[in-house]
């Protein structure tokens, strides 16, 4: 697939038969024109879960995540998945045929998938004026014999593989209703409460939506992070604060701070009431004329959207604290000798970095203001004490540990 105007195929190329008369095994779906001169290619949620989607990274790689379930409880898997496994195991195919002849293959319940939904814009070029790609992905969290929890407990997958179910290519975010229309149609057809089971091998429900703040604001149709009523977990108006850059009163940055610690929490049942009216000053949602399509799925609009830690924690308070230690005198800047000692320890950790870590933490004195979110996370979660012990004052180290404690204990699923 190409990019910048050629990232999705022409409609003639998505037909099942090529010009030479040969049939494609997994033809690409037709292109959908969006309202902002963008285009969208929907591979399909049902195809993704059945293992026949063009959005699969590697063919049959998705079978690895179902291996444990197939061995212990194959009835939790739909026929399409079990059939793919049996194609790789002739003995299993023979046993399945014998059960069919004995009439033991009658299925009473429809298997149920619980998936995590995620979407995010990806800049292909350094120029922000160029178009971006917005992939929609799902990850299967658990499978069960039925959507009825009273009959069976879901089996949480130990290995999970993300699957692309659609890709949009546009310069700005498209109309949410047009963008998600194909996915919503599939989710409503595969909903466990939908009694029309024609041609349906399984049911699907969304466990949670995982996205950064700009994408959550787009999906939920709520105020962005600069709004006074933008907090997604409590009902309070933010306070505007102006922060001046170091050594300059001209360079200033406006921030919104939420100071109330005991504000009433937002709840799923009252989500549509968080709209400005004569009786309510809350401006959390954009308006009753601009409602999220997730409302149609009865998806919880507060608890059903995870607050990811990369932007809410690591890029904010944790990253800011490290910048203060490295550069700002009024925030406890270390001396040149102390920073040199910290850099020496970080260089030592670079030499013994585990393979599971995607990057090492660079020099604090030179790169603290350029840290990637992963570097800040690794610093706070794994090497905070050995890096600063004996260098940072005890009370300041304890202050940093107050950031580490909730991150390790809470798991960041707020």
Reported confidence tier of residue 64, pLDDT bands at 50, 70, 90:
confident
Q: Residue 193 and residue 189: Cα distance in Å, rounded?
A: 9
Q: Residue 400 and residue 334: Cα distance in Å, rounded?
A: 14
Reported confidence tier of residue 318, pLDDT bands at 50, 70, 90:
confident
Contacts (Cβ under 8 Å, ≥6 apart) of 63:
51, 81, 84, 85, 88
Q: Residue 232 and residue 11: Cα distance in Å, rounded?
A: 41
326 burial level (CB within 10 Å; 0-12, 13-18, 19+): buried
The tens digit of pLDDT for each residue in 142-189 reads 999 888 888 888 999 988 888 889 999 988 889 999 999 999 999 999
Q: Residue 300 and residue 98: Cα distance in Å, rounded?
A: 44
3-state helix, strand, coil in the chain (%, to 5): 35, 15, 45
The residue behind tokens 């009825």 is 148
Q: Residue 384 and residue 389: Cα distance in Å, rounded?
A: 8
Secondary structure element (H or E) that encloses residue 396, with its range? helix 394-410
Helices (H), 194-265: 213-220
Reported confidence tier of residue 22, pLDDT bands at 50, 70, 90:
low
Reported confidence tier of residue 13, pLDDT bands at 50, 70, 90:
very low
pLDDT for 70 equals 81
Q: What is the DSSP letter of 84?
A: H
| pLDDT over threshold 80, residue 412 | no
Contacts (Cβ under 8 Å, ≥6 apart) of 193:
none
DSSP per residue, 316-384: IIIHHHHHHHHH-GGGTPPPHHHHHHHHHHHHHHHHT--TT-SS----HHHHGGG--HHHHHHHHHTSH
Phi then psi dihedrals of residue 34, to 5 deg: -90, 170
Task: Quote the mean pLDDT of the chain.
Answer: 82
Candidate ranges 85-99, 192-206, 262-276; pick with highest mean pLDDT? 262-276
Question: In 3D, which of 262, 287, 260 has the Cα closest to residue 273?
Answer: 287
Please give the share of the chain, as a percent, with pLDDT higher than 70: 82
β partners of residue 208: 116
| pLDDT over threshold 60, residue 279 | yes
| pLDDT over threshold 80, residue 128 | no
Please compute the mean of the pLDDT values over residues 308-326 and round it to a whole number. Answer: 83
pLDDT for 27 equals 66
Cα angle 120, 126, 129 (rounded to 5 degrees) comes to 80
For the ranges 37-41, 196-200, 246-250, 353-357, the lowest mean pLDDT is seen at 246-250
Q: Is 214 left (phi over 0), alpha (psi -120 to 50) or beta?
A: alpha
pLDDT for 93 equals 67
Neighbours of 246 (CB within 10 A): 9
Question: In 3D, which of 200, 127, 137, 125 has the Cα closest to residue 167?
Answer: 137
Alpha carbons within 13 angstroms on the beta-carbon side of residue 268 total: 10
The tens digit of pLDDT for each residue in 357-399 reads 778 899 999 988 888 888 888 888 888 889 999 998 888 888 8
The tens digit of pLDDT for each residue in 218-241 reads 999 999 888 899 999 999 999 998
Please compute the mean of the pLDDT values over residues 115-132 and round it to a whole number. Answer: 81
Contacts (Cβ under 8 Å, ≥6 apart) of 409:
none
Please compute the mean of the pLDDT values over residues 329-355 and round it to a whole number. Answer: 88
Q: Residue 381 and residue 309: Cα distance in Å, rounded?
A: 12
Please compute the mean of the pLDDT values over residues 336-363 and round it to a whole number. Answer: 88
């Amino acid at each position: 697939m190409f990019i910048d105007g050629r990232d999705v195929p022409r409609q003639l190329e998505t037909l099942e038969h090529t010009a030479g008369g040969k049939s494609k095994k997994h033809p690409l779906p037709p292109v959908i024109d969006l309202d902002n001169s963008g285009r969208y290619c929907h591979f399909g949620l049902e195809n993704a879960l059945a293992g026949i989607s063009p959005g699969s990274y590697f063919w049959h790689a998705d079978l690895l995540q179902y291996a444990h379930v197939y061995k212990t409880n194959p009835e939790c898997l739909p026929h399409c998945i079990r059939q793919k496994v049996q194609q790789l195991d002739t003995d299993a195919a023979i046993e399945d045929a014998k059960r069919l002849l004995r009439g033991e293959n009658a299925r009473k319940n429809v298997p149920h998938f619980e998936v995590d939904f995620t979407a995010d814009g990806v800049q292909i070029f350094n120029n922000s004026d160029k178009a971006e790609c917005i992939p929609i992905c799902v990850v299967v969290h658990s499978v069960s014999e039925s959507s009825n929890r009273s009959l069976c407990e879901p089996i949480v997958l130990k290995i999970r593989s993300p699957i692309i179910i659609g890709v949009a290519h546009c310069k700005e975010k498209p109309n949410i209703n047009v963008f998600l229309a194909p996915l919503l149609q599939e989710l409503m057809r595969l909903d466990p409460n939908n009694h029309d089971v024609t041609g349906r091998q399984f049911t699907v429900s969304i466990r949670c939506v995982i996205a950064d703040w700009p994408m959550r604001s787009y999906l939920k149709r709520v105020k962005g992070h600069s709004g006074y009523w933008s907090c997604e977990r409590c009902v309070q108006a933010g306070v505007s604060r102006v922060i001046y850059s170091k050594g300059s009163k001209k360079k200033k940055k406006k921030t919104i701070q939420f100071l109330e610690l005991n504000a009433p929490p937002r709840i799923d049942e009252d989500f549509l009431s968080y709209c400005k009216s004569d009786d309510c000053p809350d401006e959390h949602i954009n308006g009753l004329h601009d409602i999220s399509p997730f409302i149609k799925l009865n998806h919880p609009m507060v608890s059903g959207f995870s607050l990811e830690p990369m932007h809410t924690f690591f890029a904010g308070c944790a990253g800011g604290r490290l910048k203060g230690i490295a550069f700002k005198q009024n925030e406890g800047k270390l001396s040149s000798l102390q920073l040199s000692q910290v850099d020496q320890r970080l260089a030592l950790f670079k030499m013994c970095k585990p393979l599971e870590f995607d990057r090492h933490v660079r020099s604090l004195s030179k790169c603290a203001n350029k840290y990637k979110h992963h570097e800040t996370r690794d610093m706070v979660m794994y090497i905070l004490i050995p890096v600063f012990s004996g260098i940072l004052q005890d009370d300041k180290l304890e202050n940093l540990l107050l950031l580490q404690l909730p991150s390790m204990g809470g798991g960041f699923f707020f």
